[in-house]
Structures are given as C-alpha cells and as structure tokens.
Amino acid sequence: MRQTSRPVALLASESAEAQDALQRLQSLYETVDPELAEVVVALGGDGFMLHVLHRFMDTGKPIYGMNKGTIGFLMNEYREEDLAERLDQAVQSEIRPLQMTAIDEVGMRHTALAINEVALFRQSYQAARLKISIDGRTRLEELVCDGVLVATPTGSTAYNLSAQGPIIPIEAPLLALTPVSAFRPRRWRGALLANRQVVDIEVLESEKRPVNAVADHREVKSVQRIEIREVRDLSSLILFDPEHSWDERILAEQFRY
C-alpha cells in the first residue's frame, strides 16, 4: 500500500461510480479519518465538491477533487496512479464565501453561507419585482425578472455562466451581479462589483409575487429582503493540478465556441 507525504482522507459521493473509485483508492493508498487528515480528496461531481468545501471551511485543510460526476469544473481528472505526486504538485487557491441574510414573510431572519452564489427566484407564475441597492445606495428601483444572483469567482462558471454572466478569475476581488431573464430593464445585463461591496435586495409586491432565496443548497421561501456580502474571515482551500489550473479553465471556457 502506497504512502502519501501528508495524511490523506478520502470522501466520495453516494453515486455507484464514486463509491467504486473510493474502494479502489483505499486499496492502493494509506488513508486516515478526515479529522486526522491534512488533505481531503473528494470523489464525485461539483455538487459533492461544494458540500466538502462547506464541511471543511476554515479548517485549513485543502480539498483536492477528482471527477466522478458530470461536468466537474471544480474537479481534477480522475486517475489512480501518482496520487501522492499530484497532491504535492497541486496549486492551492483560497475561496471566500458569501453570507446571505434573508428576512422572510413573518420577519424571521435566516443566515447561510454560499461558495458559488446567492440567488433569488420567482416562486409563482408571475415575474419577480426587485429593488437593488449597493452599499446602501439604490441602483435599480425596479428589476422585473425571473430572478437575480450574486456569484463568487468560483460560482461564476456555474449558474451565473448559464445566465450569461461574466466569468471571473479566482483571485479577482470581484463579484458578479447577474439577472435571470430580465424583462425590465430588458437590456440590463448585470454588473461587476468589488468584493467589499454589500448588495441589498428588496422584494416588491411580495405577497403577489413571492420570491425564494438560495445560498448554494440552503433555500429560504418567501423572502422580503436579503443582504449579500463576502465574508472576509472565512475561507475554503481548493487544489488543482498545475496543468489544469483554475486560470487555465477560465481561459479555455472564454475561448470556447
């Protein structure tokens, strides 16, 4: 059984393919429990990677993903050989989460963290009406849309990209504010924000046009107001192979046609 230079833990999603990979790697390498590990190897897709990044946030343990899912934008290629060498050579990036603070229809306050994005979506057949402020100054009196999202650089290649939002390099101090199917103003395509700026969104006509808020996998129904800001004192660490770094993925995605 092969050793790695640092204690390594293996975690896998519930898919049959990921569980099969877990068993094969466990037969090849010495591993430890996650609490004792210095590096965590995650086997699955991007959704599972998000779960693992949340779990080990602010622990100082970097996460190295190997793709056993579908797209795998946050993952490295799955290979069983040379795992120790790949971990030693991997490039580390720091991810800072967003904090969502939402007030629902009964005045209850909900707080959640998001590594990818915080998104608001219409709950019914009617479009949402939203008022958007940045750092306390109103920038859009009314956005009529299916929804709107604030994405981190990590999340800029996820739902944000599908909504025609900009792709952001992982080290850039920026956030993407992107509308989903904007009806009015129809030509507004969103904005790039400094990561120090705070986004406030008020739901207009909330009884007639209810809106839900989602921070990664945490959903709050029938929100009235929501505040979104980057958390500067929390972080997750992610590892990429040097030949397939985040910067390379960003460039490749932007030149895809």
Per-residue pLDDT band at 226 (split at 50, 70, 90)? very high
**Residue 205, both tokens:** 């006509």
99 and 42 Cβ atoms separated by less than 8 Å: no
CA-based nearest residue to 162, from 119, 195, 123: 119
Name residue 192's beta-bridge partners.
176
92/173 Cα distance (integer angstroms): 17
86/93 Cα distance (integer angstroms): 15
Say whether 113 counts as a known binding-site residue.
Answer: no
**Mean pLDDT on 139-166:** 95
Say whether 157 counts as a known binding-site residue.
Answer: yes
pLDDT above 90 (res 5): no
Residues 107 and 131 in one domain: yes
Say whether 160 counts as a known binding-site residue.
Answer: yes
Per-residue pLDDT band at 210 (split at 50, 70, 90)? very high
Say whether 47 counts as a known binding-site residue.
Answer: yes
Name residue 134's beta-bridge partners.
137, 199
Q: For residue range 193-202, list pLDDT tens digits in order.
A: 999 999 999 9
pLDDT above 70 (res 103): yes
**Mean pLDDT on 55-66:** 97
pLDDT above 80 (res 257): no
Say whether 64 counts as a known binding-site residue.
Answer: no
Please provide residue 226's backbone torsions phi and psi, each rounded to the nearest 5 degrees. -150, 140
pLDDT above 80 (res 216): yes
Domain region containing 68? 8-95+235-254
30, part of any domain: yes
Q: CATH code at 58?
A: 3.40.50.10330
Active site residue 46: yes
**pTM as predicted:** 0.90
Per-residue pLDDT at 4? 76
12, part of any domain: yes
Cis-peptide into 185, omega within 30 deg: yes
Domain count of the fold of the chain: 2
244, part of any domain: yes
Residues 78 and 184 in one domain: no
Active-site residue, from 20, 33, 46, 135: 46
204, part of any domain: yes
152 and 140 Cβ atoms separated by less than 8 Å: no
Q: For residue range 18-43, list pLDDT tens digits in order.
A: 999 999 999 999 999 999 999 999 99
Q: For residue range 173-191, list pLDDT tens digits in order.
A: 999 999 999 999 988 999 9
Residues 141 and 163 in one domain: yes
